[in-house]
Each structure stands twice: as structure tokens, then as C-alpha cells.
Amino acid sequence: MFKKTVAALALSSAIFAGHATAADYVIDTKGQHAFVNFKISHLGYSWVWGNFEEFEGGFSFDADKPETSKVNVTLQTASVDTNNAERDKHLRSGDFLNVSEHPTATFKSTAVKPTGEGTADITGDLTLNGVTKPVVIAAKFLGEGKDPWGGYRAGFEGTTTLKLKDFDIKMDLGPASQTVDLIISVEGVRQ
């Protein structure tokens, strides 16, 4: 009786495995195969690049029905890093990210609109510096498949541009630096 149940279960999962295309992924921050980078113009003469070192999140992705995908990320604003201690200290202060009042920033997707082969516009609510506004991330699916260590992974990149004033960032850095570009790359491990 027991052996028959086990056999029936094994058979049915074998049949259904091939049809399960919707999956939940956890962004791989343990192996750090995910990056939230940004760049902003310095006086109009060069780019200042930085990233947020600490964040976590996940996404659910269905290659057959991409419009049902969802993504959720929470990042620690104090983990900002532009490779300059004095600048990073200033960024954490009330002039910019005000991390003591707003220790996290979050993105929660609300809609996904495919725009072509492997690309989509992900609309979602971005909460930054205590202000929540809808933003659109132009996303591109990079690939998916098995990894050599028994897991299954899928990866994306996404870009968007934010206006500092939209999120109540107090310090004005001049006319060339009103916006910041976000460049995100994530790899998720399927659960």
C-alpha cells in the first residue's frame, strides 16, 4: 500500500514537472550574483558610480506568461557605496538618503508589460526616502537554466532613471545632476 502511494506520487510529479513554468526565485545575494548600481553626473563632466551593497528580494517569473511576473526588492539605504568615505557619509545624511529616518528602500512591482523578445516594462511602486512613487524599469531577460550545483537560475537586467526631487532628496547638485540612473542586474535561484 505504501509502495503504491509512493510510486503514484513519483509518477504524477514526473508528469506535472514539465508543465510547471511559473516559479518563485530568490535573488542570489548569498553568492552576490546581483547588483544594484547607479550613476549620476558630476557637474556634467563625469559619472559618479555607486551601488547599494545590501539588499534582498525575489521574483516570480513565468516565461510563458511574463505579464504575470512579480518582483519585490528591499534595500538597506545605509549600504550605499561610492568608494569615498566622506561622500558616502554625506549621502547617508539628511541632505540625501536620510538613512536614520529611512533605513530601507523598496520596490514592489504592480504590472509587467512585455515590449519585445525577452524584454518588458516593469511598473512598480518605489519607496525611497519615505516617498512612494510609481516607476517603470526597462527589463531584459538574460537567460535561465540549471547551475552545476543542483539549482536552477534565471537572470535579468533592468534600468530606470529617477528624478532626485521626485523623492524629496534635499540637496541640489546642479543642473547636470537632477537625475540618477539605476542599473540593476539580478540572478535568482529557483525555489
Choice from 21, 83, 110, 179 touching another protein (CB under 8 A): 83
Choice from 1, 10, 14, 85 touching another protein (CB under 8 A): 85
Structure-block grid coordinates of residue 112: 509587467
Q: Is 176 in the site for another protein (CB under 8 A)?
A: no
Binding segment for another protein (CB under 8 A), chosen from 23-31, 59-67, 78-86, 114-122, is 78-86
Which of 114, 118, 74, 92 lies closest to 171, judged by CA? Answer: 92
Binding mask 13-32 for another protein (x = CB under 8 A): --------------------
Helix (H) or strand (E) holding 60: strand 55-62
Helix (H) and strand (E) counts for the chain? 2, 11
The distance of closest approach from Cβ of residue 173 to another protein in the complex, given in angstroms and rounded to an integer, is 6
Which of 148, 139, 121 lies closest to 186, judged by CA? Answer: 139
Q: Is 187 in the site for another protein (CB under 8 A)?
A: no
Helix (H) or strand (E) holding 40: strand 35-42
Helix, strand, coil percent content, the chain, rounded in steps of 5: 20, 55, 30
**Residues in contact with another protein, total (CB under 8 A)?**
12
Q: Is 133 in the site for another protein (CB under 8 A)?
A: no
Residue with Cβ nearer another protein (93 or 159) = 93
Residue with Cβ nearer another protein (80 or 154) = 80
Choice from 131, 142, 171, 176 touching another protein (CB under 8 A): 171
Q: Is residue 123 within 8 Å of residue 113, measured between CB atoms?
A: yes
Please, which residues have CB within 8 angstroms of residue 88's CB and are 6 or more apart in sequence?
80, 81, 82
Residue with Cβ nearer another protein (33 or 39) = 39
| Contact footprint for another protein (CB under 8 A) | 78, 83-86, 88-89, 92, 171-174
